[in-house]
Amino acid sequence: MGRKAIDNIRKPQILDACREVFSREGFENTTLVKIARHMGVSKGLVLHYYNSKEELFRDMLDDLFFSQPTLRKDIENLPKDLSPRERLEKIFELYYSEEYSEYFNDVIFYGAHYIALRDQELLLKMKSVYSQLVEEVTSEIRLYLKATGGDLSKAKKASILFGSLLEGFDFLYTLMSSDLSFSEYREFLIEQVWHYLDS
């Protein structure tokens, strides 16, 4: 097996181990030694690929946030015969789905935001992701407004409202104990976006 093939196996293994250790220990307590121990390899092997945990963490976030096409594929695979409203409803449901929420481990997700405040490279990457999210949702909302004769100037604001509710919902749901289920909260928040679009 060639060097490149070994790299293609080892780097994903290291990233998986980093994800597991970081989820358990948090960023501050994660070390390359702990990651190597979790993998059952020497620290030297990890150092062969990564000079620091910061570098490794950035790669892990790249893999988690920027290289996962799952949601985009789900949107691309939506049936073509949906009406503009049905399509937008499905997209809202996908973004607010429990599966999508659970995909991002809270320790990693919020840890990334914390670290981005101290790491300019990561901050720029995360800004890029959020900008892309806003643009993609804006584009979908614009299609809906165009088809229904709605006010096209609302598209960007509705997208920002949608993103803000999504982020806040996920954070608060993690912290709150309530009689309302995940789906009840989700339906209430999506109703607010529809209320703004159709008002």
Q: Please report whether residue 61 resides in a domain.
A: no
CATH number of the domain residue 40 falls in? 1.10.10.60
Instruction: Give the pLDDT confidence of 116-163 residue by residue, as tens digits.
Output: 888 888 888 888 878 888 898 899 999 999 999 999 999 999 999 988
Q: Is residue 59 part of a domain?
A: no
Most confident region among 20-29, 144-153, 174-183 by mean pLDDT: 144-153
Q: 76-104: b or e for each residue (b if 16 or more CB lie within 10 Å)?
A: eeeeeeeebeebbebbbebbbbeebbeee
Question: What residues make up the domain containing 19?
Answer: 3-52
Between 3 and 188, the more confident residue is: 188
Chain mean pLDDT for the chain: 83
Could you tell me if 77 and 175 lie in one domain? yes
- The answer to whether the CB of 130 falls within 8 A of the CB of 95 is no
62 in any annotated domain:
no
CATH code at position 163: 1.10.357.10
Is the model's pLDDT at 65 over the cut of 80? no
**141 and 175 belong to one structural domain:** yes
Within a domain: residue 60? Answer: no
Asked whether residue 16 falls in the same domain as residue 112, the answer is: no
Tokens linked to 26:
């948090």
